[in-house]
Amino acid sequence: MTQLWVGLGNPEPAMAANRHNIGFMALDTIATRHGFSPWRRRFKGAFAEGTVAGDKILALKPLTYMNSSGESVQEAAAFYKLPPDSITAFHDELDLAPGKMRVKQGGGAAGHNGLRSMDKMLGSQDYWRVRLGIGHPGSKDRVLGYVLGNFDKDDKPWLIALLDALADAAGLLAQGKRPDFMTNVALHTQDLR
């Protein structure tokens, strides 16, 4: 089954190391590890193709800025005639501790503008989400600066471990073994938080 894996982030080179761009980072690591095709411009985004555990994976990084991510995702999903449940979005999650990861299907956007845009453009919330914990800055008025800020030097060990674990376990995600995927990533990152 063909799947569309979407990394959420912002396209500006100066924003590449932002916490908000962990979705881009995750997809880049998976694409590199699994030998995907080179990234090219398509569907208002950067697009690559590959195979993970025998399944065809279409990788998409919307270049529309976070608030309009759904435009890119909807275009790719429509072109390949993919239902929402074959789409997985990788995104930053304020409500999870740094380095923690959860997978869920559906649910609200919880203030995440990339997810809100996807919900609107897909007309559905039934796609999968890989929620990548970045922690919360403590107060609501600090959220914007926090997510648009770069990861700190102290974050690098858990961030690299998380991205590597995601790429290593991606086959389980591709096969629909999401609980095993979560367990595998947790085991490989437990000592680094």
Note if 34 is an active site residue. no
**What pairing do the DSSP bridges indicate for beta strands 87-93 and 128-133?**
parallel
Q: Tell me the C-alpha distance between 47 and 41, whole Å.
A: 6
| Annotated catalytic residue within 20, 34, 91, 112 | 20
Residues with catalytic roles: 20
